[in-house]
């Protein structure tokens, strides 16, 4: 199903010709009307016998390509001179191409950016390109009130050794070049860490998708400047109507995780469904100006599925345009626009009349629901820290609370912090708020949900509080020389009140519990920050996850028992022979990712516990955590290993959707062992 073929000739030029399956009409059968497409076509150069690629558009070996479904010219060079025509975009009327020259300078392995935005009328020579302003263009939007068209740009791009970068300022220019009242003709909208891929606005301009920064995908309220995290991932995009539906691209680079207008996860849509993709990765996904039309590039790689094919593949990537079903659950039709031997990247699509089409929320099944909002403070308390889980936003007012995993710490199936191999470090502003809370002798409280498989055999740090800590002891929770006895194992809510460095009251699942004194000396901790878990001296074999954490002044009312928000995955224990291993991605292949899962394939020899019928199984193993390779994984092909595994696909282990990962063709399971590093 090939529409147009751009054939790479020996001299490096291309000859474009309509394919035999209907040419330009095939594109319109997918989009529903007159369509224009723009993209970057990389001209690979051989280095050490291999072709180069430039998936992120940092080099100057690109042609600016375009296709108009009604001019009969096919895919052609809009700019025949090679250069850096980064992130080409079409104006709302389809008559202008906006692109950025990143002006990349390389110094000692670092890329430095001095981006400048240009506008070129469709079909006109490069001599008619007009400079818009500084920054990297990310969206072109027409104000529905007065029709003024703006180019949105990210400025102050960070130097980086990585392939991708971001900036620290969002600004906009008028496309017509009029400077208006703003200095240098630009209007600065907000100062915020933001990645380049993809910032896009809704039709009314009130909401935009983005990463603030990567990997925190979500939406931003353009009036207040407040952003809301929806999930970890990349390549966010938002429907170009006012439905508020947006996606966050998953770490496997195959699925769009869709969110309704209230930020609720509704479903996952596979966008790797074209037969040519062969289960490989796709990239550069972007909504067009029509809410049912998308574009992307792919496939990346040929048959290899290890590592990150985005960074080491790319010459196979072609331009595809797809049409969503009415409920956005699938891409119901595709058209392939290119067929050549080098990479095609960063497509953007304009469909005539697309700006007048809106999604039907009733068919989506995601009609807007009233938001419950943040918890309100109880009388006599002031909350300074509230972290529910790693699935969404955690804010108090405008302050965003973040926890960064260190070591082999990671999220669990309920998006809770797993503390069995590392710790989660609290952001500096929230740390200062907690330290201020603890500074005096006034009472303060902490509440959290702890899920554990058993009691530890030695003290384990649950909450590290700047020189002191809440410890999980073999028989309970200790703070200072006071002790909360615990006889129940599983998932429970704990509410503790502390005054004068002593634990003075505690409740489990809403019921007050009598406190005891330590019979011996209490453990101490001498760190300066606020964190959960511990990088060192965590008791071997003790598995625990913590979530729903609140720290507040005064006395919190005892919190009720927690209810599971996600189904608990069943465990299966097997003996199986290792028959295939995917390679661990190198640091270059991982690029900005600091965690990675790859799958190994096993032949099942015996089911020791649980229910499992298949003869083979693909198992995800954590191979990289905190930018370090893990140790102790099965290594020898043909050897038999004992594994405890859990189903990793929906509805289980949704927390892994945003991680860099490989994807087999069969059902996927997760190795439950606690990851460890090489000694």
In the block, tokens 């969206």 appear at 139
**Nearest-angstrom CA–CA distance, 2 and 21:** 7
User: pLDDT-derived band of residue 1, with 50, 70 and 90 as boundaries?
Assistant: very low
Give per-residue pLDDT as tens, 102-136.
Answer: 999 999 889 999 999 999 999 999 999 999 999 99
Q: Which of 99-108, 375-384, 479-488 has the lowest mean pLDDT?
A: 375-384
User: pLDDT-derived band of residue 209, with 50, 70 and 90 as boundaries?
Assistant: very high
With a cut of 50, say whether residue 368 has pLDDT above it.
no
Q: Is 638 helix (H, G, I), strand (E, B) or coil?
A: coil
409-437: b or e for each residue (b if 16 or more CB lie within 10 Å)?
Answer: bbbbbbbbbbbbbbbbbbbeebbebbbeb
- List all residues 6 or more positions away from 36 whose beta carbon is below 8 Å from its beta carbon: 66, 67, 68, 69, 90, 94, 122, 349, 350
| Mean predicted confidence (pLDDT) in 427-438 | 93
Give per-residue pLDDT as tens, 150-177.
Answer: 999 999 999 998 888 999 999 999 999 8
What is the topology classification, in CATH, of domain 572-677?
Answer: OB fold (Dihydrolipoamide Acetyltransferase, E2P) (2.40.50)
- In the prediction, which pLDDT does 663 show? 86
Q: Is 353 helix (H, G, I), strand (E, B) or coil?
A: coil
With a cut of 90, say whether residue 182 has pLDDT above it.
no
What is the topology classification, in CATH, of domain 383-553?
Answer: Jelly Rolls (2.60.120)
- In the prediction, which pLDDT does 164 show? 87
User: pLDDT-derived band of residue 664, with 50, 70 and 90 as boundaries?
Assistant: confident
- In the prediction, which pLDDT does 373 show? 42
Give per-residue pLDDT as tens, 453-471.
Answer: 999 998 899 999 887 889 9
Half-sphere exposure of 14 (CA within 13 A, CB side): 30
User: pLDDT-derived band of residue 370, with 50, 70 and 90 as boundaries?
Assistant: very low
Nearest to 97 by CA among 58, 32, 151, 164: 151
More confident residue, 505 or 665: 505
- In the prediction, which pLDDT does 645 show? 98
Give per-residue pLDDT as tens, 400-416.
Answer: 999 999 999 999 999 99
pTM for this prediction: 0.83
| Mean predicted confidence (pLDDT) in 194-219 | 94
With a cut of 80, say whether residue 300 has pLDDT above it.
yes
Q: Which of 90-99, 264-273, 552-561 has the lowest mean pLDDT?
A: 264-273
Give per-residue pLDDT as tens, 221-259.
Answer: 999 988 999 988 999 999 999 999 999 999 889 999 999
Answer yes or no: are the C-beta atoms of 665 and 602 closer than 8 Å: no
- In the prediction, which pLDDT does 521 show? 58
| Mean predicted confidence (pLDDT) in 67-90 | 96
- Give the C-alpha distances (Å, rounded to integers) separating 606 from 20, 227, 569, 643, 668: 53, 50, 20, 11, 18
**Nearest-angstrom CA–CA distance, 547 and 200:** 32
In the block, tokens 């990645």 appear at 195
More confident residue, 618 or 364: 618
Helical segments of 166-318, H only? 309-312
For strands 200-201 and 660-661, give the pairing: unpaired
- Give the C-alpha distances (Å, rounded to integers) separating 344 from 190, 317, 497, 585: 32, 6, 59, 23
Give per-residue pLDDT as tens, 586-620.
Answer: 888 888 889 999 999 999 999 999 999 999 999 99
Two tokens at 304? Answer: 């290899």
Q: What is the mean pLDDT of the chain?
A: 89
With a cut of 50, say whether residue 334 has pLDDT above it.
yes
Domain coordinates in residue numbering, the chain: 383-553, 572-677
DSSP bridge pairs for 597:
622, 661
- In the prediction, which pLDDT does 393 show? 86
- In the prediction, which pLDDT does 184 show? 67
Answer yes or no: are the C-beta atoms of 512 and 495 closer than 8 Å: no
User: pLDDT-derived band of residue 12, with 50, 70 and 90 as boundaries?
Assistant: very low
Give per-residue pLDDT as tens, 565-587.
Answer: 899 999 999 999 999 999 999 88
- In the prediction, which pLDDT does 501 show? 81
| Mean predicted confidence (pLDDT) in 620-635 | 96
With a cut of 80, say whether residue 17 has pLDDT above it.
no
User: pLDDT-derived band of residue 9, with 50, 70 and 90 as boundaries?
Assistant: very low
Answer yes or no: are the C-beta atoms of 271 and 379 closer than 8 Å: no
Percentage of residues in the chain having pLDDT higher than 90: 70
User: pLDDT-derived band of residue 194, with 50, 70 and 90 as boundaries?
Assistant: very high
- In the prediction, which pLDDT does 362 show? 87
- List all residues 6 or more positions away from 447 whose beta carbon is below 8 Å from its beta carbon: 493, 494, 495, 496, 548, 549, 550, 556, 559
Q: Is 309 helix (H, G, I), strand (E, B) or coil?
A: helix
Q: Residue 379 CA to chain centroid, in angstroms?
A: 37
Beta strands across the sheet bearing 200-201: 200-201, 207-211, 216-221, 227-232
């Amino acid at each position: 199903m090939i529409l147009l073929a751009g054939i790479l000739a020996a001299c490096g030029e291309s000859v474009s010709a309509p394919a035999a399956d209907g040419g330009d009409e095939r594109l319109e059968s997918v989009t529903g009307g007159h369509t224009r497409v723009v993209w970057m076509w990389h001209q690979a150069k051989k280095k050490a016998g291999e072709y180069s690629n430039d998936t992120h558009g940092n080099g100057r070996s690109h042609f600016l390509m375009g296709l108009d479904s009604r001019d009969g010219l096919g895919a052609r060079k809009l700019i025949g001179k090679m250069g850096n025509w980064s992130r080409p975009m079409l104006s709302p009327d389809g008559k202008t191409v906006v692109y950025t020259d990143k002006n990349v300078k390389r110094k000692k392995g670092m890329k430095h950016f001095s981006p400048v935005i240009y506008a070129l009328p469709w079909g006109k020579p490069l001599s008619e390109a007009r400079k818009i302003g500084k920054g990297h263009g990310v969206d072109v939007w027409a104000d529905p009130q007065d029709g003024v068209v703006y180019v949105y740009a990210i400025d102050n791009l960070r130097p980086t050794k990585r392939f991708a970068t971001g900036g620290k300022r969002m600004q906009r220019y008028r496309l017509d070049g009029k400077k208006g009242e703003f200095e240098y003709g630009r209007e600065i909208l907000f100062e915020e860490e933001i990645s380049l891929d993809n910032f896009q606005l809704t039709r009314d301009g009130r909401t935009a998708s983005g990463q603030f920064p990567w990997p925190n995908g979500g939406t931003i309220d353009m009036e207040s400047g407040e952003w809301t995290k929806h999930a970890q991932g990349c390549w966010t995009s938002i429907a170009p109507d006012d439905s508020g539906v947006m996606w966050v691209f998953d770490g496997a680079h195959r699925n769009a995780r869709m969110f309704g207008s209230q930020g609720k996860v509704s479903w996952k849509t596979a966008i790797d469904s074209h037969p040519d993709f062969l289960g490989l990765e796709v990239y550069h996904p972007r909504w067009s100006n029509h809410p049912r039309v998308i574009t992307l590039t792919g496939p990346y790689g040929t048959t290899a599925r290890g590592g990150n094919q985005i960074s080491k593949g790319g010459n196979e990537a072609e331009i595809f345009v797809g049409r969503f079903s009415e409920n956005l659950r699938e891409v119901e039709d595709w058209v392939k626009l290119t067929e050549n031997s080098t990479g095609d990247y960063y497509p953007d699509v304009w469909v005539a009349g697309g700006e007048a089409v809106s999604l039907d929320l009733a068919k989506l099944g995601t009609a807007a629901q009233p938001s419950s909002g943040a918890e309100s403070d109880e009388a006599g308390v002031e909350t300074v820290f509230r972290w529910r889980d790693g699935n969404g936003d955690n804010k108090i007012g405008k302050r965003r609370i973040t926890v960064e995993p260190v070591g082999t710490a990671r999220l669990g199936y309920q998006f809770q912090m797993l503390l069995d191999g590392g710790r989660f470090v609290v952001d500096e502003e929230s740390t200062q708020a907690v330290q201020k809370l603890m500074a005096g002798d006034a009472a303060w409280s902490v509440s959290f949900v702890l899920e554990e498989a058993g009691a530890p055999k030695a003290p384990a740090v649950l909450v590290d509080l700047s020189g002191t800590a809440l410890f999980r002891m073999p028989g309970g929770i200790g703070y200072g020389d006071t002790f909360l006895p615990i006889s129940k194992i599983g998932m429970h809510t704990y509410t503790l009140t502390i005054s004068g460095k002593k634990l003075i009251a505690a409740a489990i699942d809403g019921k007050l519990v009598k406190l005891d004194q330590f019979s011996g000396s209490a453990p101490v901790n001498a760190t300066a920050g606020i964190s959960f878990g511990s990088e060192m001296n965590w008791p071997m074999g003790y598995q625990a996850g913590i979530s729903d954490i609140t720290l507040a002044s005064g006395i919190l009312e005892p919190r009720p028992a927690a209810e599971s928000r996600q189904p608990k995955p069943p465990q299966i224990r097997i003996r199986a022979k290792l028959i295939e291993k995917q390679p661990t991605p190198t640091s270059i292949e991982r690029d900005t990712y600091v965690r990675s899962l790859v799958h190994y394939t096993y032949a099942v020899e015996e089911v020791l516990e649980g229910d499992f019928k298949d003869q083979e199984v693909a198992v995800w193993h954590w191979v990289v955590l905190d930018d370090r390779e893990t140790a102790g994984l099965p290594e020898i092909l043909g050897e038999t290993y004992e594994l405890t595994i859990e189903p990793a696909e929906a509805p289980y282990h949704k927390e892994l959707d945003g991680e860099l990962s490989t994807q087999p063709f069969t059902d996927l399971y997760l190795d439950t062992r606690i990851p460890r590093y090489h000694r």
